[in-house]
Structure 1
């Protein structure tokens, strides 16, 4: 059963549909009216100027029949809404699976299959979204071996370092990644706008002593910090440090909290880059609280509770969510052999778009007689 009640001089509509109750503003319904006069049938984009609708717009009549809501608005417009669509507010993406070291998944994909087959590519992208990383095997051990798979998803993100860049020890290194030292868990390039969304790390050779990769789920770290030290969690969502990178030809600056929240108050991005962080000269009491909170977060992302250890073999590639995962490596010695990896970036928008389109194409349309 469905019941409809008008409130606030008919400028709100309360719908009780099969035990679920929601209130809708008349203006919200009017600007989303699913007809060819309001929304372009092909693109779904709005054709009317919503800001020109009268703020006093009201609903003059409402009728429910056969799962559809028929409305007449005070501006004379009539709209027909599917009740299921009004109540279907599920997110377009499935939930992510947070993990600690003991429960860490090992999502894997085959390079050739993902390049050639949409189903395999979708499975890889779904795993990447769900777990924050995926290990791809069978990548050609050539300098641009990852490129065919990148081309299946979206453009390669170019930076001041070029497109696909070397990760190996060099003389006069312009970044600490190009040395033999170990790297603390970090997110890449928080000084860029936008921050690169996904890191692609491709192993050509890895015979050096050491140089193992580490991963930690930053969203799990944020969850644990919120449970164990709410004050520290709150501090890291509010204080906004800066991040800085500079060389002979580049000067980049950015800012943002170590734990960034979405509109629902849930972590949507973590930043951690000890090498490039520049905290402003806040009042001493604020800095004391921030430093204590940062230390608590650091202990989580470096502790064995959350740290997953991996060593890439030649022909393997690690794709990582740079908004969620923190990655690092142990120090290595070249006396034991050569360590040569290649790294590229692909942005989040093209990756998410490809995943959603493939999922939509893989979902069969409802047949006659089935609910839409």
Structure 2
């Protein structure tokens, strides 16, 4: 995408422009349009100024050697904007215009920090290597000259210290600071916003994938991951009935997440267990391992043998939907559950490993961007130590009562069959199970495994980038 340089601009910390360009400098025209001071933005008390000087040669050049040149190398003409900033701290910006007449503004300090030359950037690792011990904000981001090359497809800056930086127009505009571009990047490459659902929409949102397709096809793998990101739950069908198959699915994405219950874990009714999931009694809805700071992000539950009794039915709820419902309809209770720290704990022994885990976090965790980040809820793993003021205890219980009532109201029930792998987000979904009865001839047998969201998002970006080439 071709660029036109409009101006370098000084912007105060308050965001008020000392000067701005009222009309575009059109490099495609024989008669250049002028810079016009905007009276509404002009502060007469400052020393800032804009000057244009015409040379006898017919080109525009700087009034002094210290002033930056704006050059369109395709026409051999120079445009000069000079300024004398006041003594207070300011930000220097560069404004460019794309071929479709959109304006973009880039801080000079950001441009200098993101120089793409071999001295500053290592392309193989996509890593900045410039020496930040020598990087002085007030010294390095001073312009000497700006040059457009390759028909406006490349921007070259010569800094006051003689260093040269080049930026491809496509690279530059993708990193625009306007709000739409920033949000587009976050949705496109960081973490897309989830689509929340209630129990009435479960039949619409639940996607089914064949195990062999996800194992053998990158296209199917990408589609599965995208559904998992969007809806938080996906069913994999016709998986071979062996305890190693869940691992194969995990390793298509990254690597299995080990916890103090091991890597794969076998869910069968066990006598003398320290984990209520290994009982045949009803299992209340919960998130797994809320006592972990670094919480496993995704569950994979591979059904090898299902109970022939009426029990063993899965319970599942989109807890993000419930949390957003509370934020809208019950803000007081939402605030309590999102701000009150709860002690989550797990003490016991499994396969010879002893453990005592504790983590403190609210039931509803909100990220720094204000979006929902994680749900913590497990009645068995909520500690009896509750380190809150006495006056906060009963209001918290009343808020939790509302939350639990809503998750049960919005829960769906279904029963997996041998060959199903139920995959779901452990930071978003609440899951449980109705009680069941084993017999000598029929023992319910589930193999579980965890996969981290960091690995899921990483694989998603890799696959997505390949499809765009």
Same fold judged by TM-score > 0.5? yes
**Which of 87, 104, 114 is matched with 2:214 structurally?**
114
**Which of 60, 69, 85 is matched with 2:143 structurally?**
60
Q: Indicate if the aligned counterparts of 1:218 and 1:270 stay in contact, CA closer than 8 A.
A: yes
Structure 1 distance, partners of 2:392, 2:162, is 56
1:189, distance to aligned residue in structure 2 (A): 0.4
In the alignment, is residue 159 of structure 1 matched against residue 259 of structure 2?
A: yes
**Which of 446, 452, 457 is matched with 1:347 structurally?**
452
TM-score, normalization by structure 2: 0.71
Greater relative contact order structure (CA < 8 Å, 6+ sep): 1
Q: Indicate if the aligned counterparts of 1:209 and 1:334 stay in contact, CA closer than 8 A.
A: no
TM-score, normalization by structure 1: 0.89
Note the alpha carbon deviations across 1:94-138, whole angstroms, 9 max, x for none.
332111111121111110111111111111111111111110001
Q: Indicate if the aligned counterparts of 2:342 and 2:387 stay in contact, CA closer than 8 A.
A: no
The match for 1:324 is: 428
Note the alpha carbon deviations across 1:170-202, whole angstroms, 9 max, x for none.
111220001112122211001124211111101
The match for 2:194 is: 96
**Which of 273, 287, 302 is matched with 1:187 structurally?**
287
Q: 1:230 to 1:74 in 2, by over 3 A?
A: farther
**Which of 376, 382, 403 is matched with 1:297 structurally?**
403
Between the two proteins, the alignment pairs up a number of residues equal to 362
Note the alpha carbon deviations across 1:298-318, whole angstroms, 9 max, x for none.
222221xx2122210011010
Q: 1:59 to 1:69 in 2, by over 3 A?
A: farther
The match for 2:339 is: 238
Per mean C-alpha deviation after superposition, the further-off stretch among 190-199 and 23-32 is 23-32
Q: 1:59 to 1:126 in 2, by over 3 A?
A: same
The match for 1:283 is: 389
Per mean C-alpha deviation after superposition, the further-off stretch among 242-251 and 331-340 is 331-340
Q: Indicate if the aligned counterparts of 1:14 and 1:21 stay in contact, CA closer than 8 A.
A: no
Q: Indicate if the aligned counterparts of 1:11 and 1:59 stay in contact, CA closer than 8 A.
A: no
* 1:128-139 → structure 2 map (5 Å cutoff): 128-139=228-239
Q: Indicate if the aligned counterparts of 1:133 and 1:321 stay in contact, CA closer than 8 A.
A: yes
Q: 1:257 to 1:2 in 2, by over 3 A?
A: farther
Note the alpha carbon deviations across 1:307-335, whole angstroms, 9 max, x for none.
12221001101011111111111122225
Per mean C-alpha deviation after superposition, the further-off stretch among 38-47 and 64-73 is 64-73
**Which of 351, 365, 370 is matched with 1:260 structurally?**
365
Structure 1 distance, partners of 2:362, 2:375, is 8
Q: Indicate if the aligned counterparts of 2:214 and 2:224 stay in contact, CA closer than 8 A.
A: yes
The match for 1:172 is: 272
Partner-residue secondary structure (3-state), 2:138: coil
Tell me the C-alpha RMSD between the 2 structures: 2.4
Q: Indicate if the aligned counterparts of 2:375 and 2:427 stay in contact, CA closer than 8 A.
A: yes
Partner-residue secondary structure (3-state), 1:121: helix
Partner-residue secondary structure (3-state), 2:446: strand
| Runs of at least 5 residues in structure 2 that lack an aligned partner in the other structure | 13-84
Structure 2 distance, partners of 1:210, 1:62, is 75
The match for 2:175 is: 86
The match for 1:77 is: 163
Structure 1 distance, partners of 2:392, 2:333, is 12
Partner-residue secondary structure (3-state), 2:123: coil
Note the alpha carbon deviations across 1:333-361, whole angstroms, 9 max, x for none.
22594321111111222222112111111
Partner-residue secondary structure (3-state), 1:119: helix
Q: 1:64 to 1:290 in 2, by over 3 A?
A: farther
1:283, distance to aligned residue in structure 2 (A): 1.0
Structure 2 distance, partners of 1:252, 1:263, is 26
